[in-house]
């Protein structure tokens, strides 16, 4: 039997899980069809006070990135900056162009990472899947874990491969809009609302928006508490199950408080709905929560794209504060 030609390109790896390990990526770097994307966005102090979002491109170029990784601009390229609220999801034409710009085509395998708790990588992961591109995963622990393991980094620009993008097939069930959420609040639709912001923002103690608090009936699932603080890898086993239990309805009545930093009083005594809608400020931390839920085997998840940036802009949209 003849041996295969050594120059024959292997197909891109098949990514069948939401997360891949740093070891998996190290073993597959340089594989034909594998596109590694750095989706980092930074939260930096603004000159006039407060904070603003900044592209992670300079950090990628100067401080280093995973070898062969292409930078993916979540602020401008994988969002629609023309829409009124930040990080708005692009349309089908825009996502195909964005994918092509970083070397993705229909035969690619895509691994995403960032230098935070994975929310930026999760956002692009969710976007691609919501337009029918399934061969995509998030690097568990991202750049933080990669560095902690003293794996190789490289600096400077990586030119993406020439690519045509992919054929987008919209999957509207991946998203919820303001009307969908309002229907849940009004009791006209069934869903469990999940806020992925920090507890102080959920409670209303702090807020970067004009109005503080959370959408009535919401549960709190802070994205930053779903990862191991040592390396930003997703919690495993019992530790993750404990965090997700209130959302998945796994807590007993005795374990579930009627009102606390983790639950709105409007939820007390209500049976959890099969659909989950995650939200945050602009649909980013919500993607990290959606990733954790998906990794735990949960389906029927949607992200409220406008999230609180849109909801709080409407003075008639109700909010609950626990302070």
Query: Within this chain, do residues 194 and 134 fall inside the same structural domain, yes or no?
Result: no
Q: How far apart are CA 157 and CA 137, in angstroms?
A: 23
Of 170, 204, 219, the residue at which a domain comes to its end is: 170
Q: If DSSP codes are grouped into helix, strand and coil, which group holds residue 57? A: helix
Distance from chain centroid for Cα 5 = 40
Query: Within this chain, do residues 26 and 156 fall inside the same structural domain, yes or no?
Result: yes
Residue span of the structural domain in which 208 resides: 173-311
**Residues β-bridged to residue 137:** 111
Helices (H) and strands (E) counted in the chain, each on its own, are: 10, 12
Look at residue 96 and tell me if it is in a domain: yes
Q: How many other β-carbons are positioned within 10 Å of the β-carbon of residue 168?
A: 19
Of 153, 170, 187, the residue at which a domain comes to its end is: 170
SS3 content of the chain, % helix, strand, coil (to 5): 30, 15, 55
Is 202 in contact with 285 (CB distance < 8 Å)? no
CATH of the domain at 300: 3.40.250.10
For residue 86, the model assigns a pLDDT of 82
Query: Within this chain, do residues 233 and 290 fall inside the same structural domain, yes or no?
Result: yes
**pLDDT by position in tens, the chain (length 323):** 444 444 566 789 999 999 999 999 999 999 999 999 999 999 887 787 777 889 999 999 999 999 999 999 999 999 998 998 888 999 999 999 999 999 999 999 999 999 999 999 999 999 999 999 999 999 999 999 999 999 999 999 999 999 999 999 999 999 999 999 999 999 999 999 999 999 999 999 988 888 999 999 999 999 999 999 999 999 999 999 999 999 998 533 333 333 344 444 333 444 556 899 999 999 999 999 999 999 999 999 999 999 999 999 999 999 999 98
Cα 205 to Cα 130, 210, 211, 247, 320, distances in angstroms: 33, 13, 11, 22, 11
Strand order in the sheet with 136-139: 19-20, 136-139, 109-113, 34-38, 70-71
CA-wise closest residue to 295 among 26, 35, 20, 12: 20
Query: Within this chain, do residues 166 and 207 fall inside the same structural domain, yes or no?
Result: no
Look at residue 323 and tell me if it is in a domain: no
Query: Within this chain, do residues 30 and 112 fall inside the same structural domain, yes or no?
Result: yes
- The C-alpha R_g of the chain, in whole angstroms, comes to 20
Is 185 in contact with 217 (CB distance < 8 Å)? yes
Query: Within this chain, do residues 257 and 159 fall inside the same structural domain, yes or no?
Result: no
| Residue partners of 43: CB distance under 8 A and separation at least 6 | 51, 52, 53, 54
Query: Within this chain, do residues 71 and 48 fall inside the same structural domain, yes or no?
Result: yes
pTM score, two decimals?
Answer: 0.90
Q: How many other β-carbons are positioned within 10 Å of the β-carbon of residue 81?
A: 11
Query: Within this chain, do residues 132 and 189 fall inside the same structural domain, yes or no?
Result: no
Query: Within this chain, do residues 164 and 179 fall inside the same structural domain, yes or no?
Result: no
Burial degree of 299 (CB within 10 A; 0-12, 13-18, 19+): exposed
Of 136, 170, 204, the residue at which a domain comes to its end is: 170
Look at residue 300 and tell me if it is in a domain: yes
Query: Within this chain, do residues 177 and 166 fall inside the same structural domain, yes or no?
Result: no
Look at residue 11 and tell me if it is in a domain: no
Query: Within this chain, do residues 281 and 268 fall inside the same structural domain, yes or no?
Result: yes
Q: How far apart are CA 67 and CA 29, in angstroms?
A: 8
Look at residue 210 and tell me if it is in a domain: yes
For residue 91, the model assigns a pLDDT of 96
Query: Within this chain, do residues 25 and 166 fall inside the same structural domain, yes or no?
Result: yes
Cα 210 to Cα 194, 207, 275, 315, distances in angstroms: 21, 8, 29, 10
Q: How far apart are CA 118 and CA 227, in angstroms?
A: 9
Q: How far apart are CA 97 and CA 95, in angstroms?
A: 5
- What domain count does the chain have? 2
Look at residue 190 and tell me if it is in a domain: yes
Q: If DSSP codes are grouped into helix, strand and coil, which group holds residue 192? A: strand
Look at residue 182 and tell me if it is in a domain: yes
């Amino acid at each position: 039997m003849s041996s295969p030609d050594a120059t024959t390109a292997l197909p891109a790896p098949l990514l069948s899980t939401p997360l891949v390990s740093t070891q998996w990526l190290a073993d597959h770097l340089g594989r034909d069809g594998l596109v590694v994307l750095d989706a980092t966005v930074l939260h930096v102090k603004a000159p006039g006070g407060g904070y603003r979002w900044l592209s992670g491109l300079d950090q990628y170029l100067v401080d280093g990135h995973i070898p062969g990784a292409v930078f993916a601009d979540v602020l401008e390229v994988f969002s629609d900056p023309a829409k009124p609220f930040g990080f708005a999801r692009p349309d089908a034409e825009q996502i195909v162009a964005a994918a092509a710009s970083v070397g993705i085509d229909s035969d690619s395998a895509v691994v995403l990472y960032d230098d935070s708790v994975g929310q930026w990588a999760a956002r692009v992961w969710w976007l691609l899947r919501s337009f029918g591109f399934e061969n995509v995963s998030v690097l568990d622990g991202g750049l933080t874990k990669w560095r902690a393991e003293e794996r190789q980094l490289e600096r400077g620009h990586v030119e993406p491969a020439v690519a045509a993008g992919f054929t987008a097939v919209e999957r509207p069930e991946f998203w919820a809009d303001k009307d969908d959420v309002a229907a849940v609040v009004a009791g006209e639709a069934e869903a469990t609302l999940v806020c992925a912001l920090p507890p102080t923002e959920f409670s209303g103690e702090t807020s970067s928006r004009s109005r503080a608090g959370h959408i009535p009936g919401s549960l709190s699932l802070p994205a930053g508490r779903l990862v191991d603080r040592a390396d930003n890898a997703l919690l495993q086993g019992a530790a993750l199950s404990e965090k997700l239990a209130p959302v998945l309805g796994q807590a007993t009545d005795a374990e579930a408080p009627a009102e606390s930093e983790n639950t709105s009083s409007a939820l007390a005594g209500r049976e959890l709905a099969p659909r989950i809608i995650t939200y945050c400020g602009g649909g980013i931390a919500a993607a990290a929560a959606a990733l954790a839920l998906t990794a735990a085997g949960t389906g029927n998840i949607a992200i409220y794209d406008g999230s609180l940036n849109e909801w709080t802009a409407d003075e008639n949209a109700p909010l609950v504060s626990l302070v």
